[in-house]
Amino acid sequence: MANASNYLRGEIGNGFLNIDGTLVVPTTLYIGLFTDSLNAAGTGTEVTGGSYARKQISASSFTDDNVGGFVLNTSLEFVTASASWGTIVSMGIYDSVTGGELIVFDDLAATKTITSGDAFRFNSGSITVNIS
C-alpha cells in the first residue's frame, strides 16, 4: 500500500480546504526505483546509470478497488539495465520524469537486485495506492 507524500498531503489540504484555491493534478505520472527506503519528504537514493529512467504511467493504469484505493491494472517493465542498478528497495510515483514532486511512495514487498541485462517489472495488481 503506497503512502502519501508530504507534497500530496499539502496539495489535498490546500485544494480541498480552499486555502490557496488550487489543486494541482498532474497529467502524467512516473514510477521511480530506489535502493533505500524513500520517505514522505522524498528523501531516498534513486537508481542512476545503466540506462535507468523512471517509467511513465497514466491514470488509466490504475483501477478503483471499491474499498478506498486504486490498484495497478497493467504490468509495467522498466528498460533492461545496461549496468547494475543495485538492490531495489522502494518505489515512488512522481509528477515528472526527472526531479518533480513525489506523490506516493512505498517499500517493495520483496527487494530485487538488478544487474546488467536484468529488467525490473511490476506485475498487474502489485501496486495499491490507498491514501489514509
pLDDT tens per residue, range 10-67: 777 766 666 666 776 788 899 999 999 999 999 999 999 999 999 999 878 888 877 7
Mean pLDDT of 114-121: 97
- Tell me the whole-structure pTM to 2 decimals: 0.84
Domain boundaries, the chain: 3-129
What is the Cα Rg of the chain in Å? Answer: 15
Backbone angles phi, psi at 96, to 5 degrees: -150, 150
Average pLDDT, the chain: 87
Mean pLDDT of 99-122: 94
More confident residue, 76 or 71: 76
Contact 71/93 with Cβ under 8 angstroms?
no
pLDDT of residue 9 exceeding 80, the answer is no
pLDDT at 1: 55
Q: Pairing between strand 62-64 and 70-72?
A: antiparallel
pLDDT at 19: 67
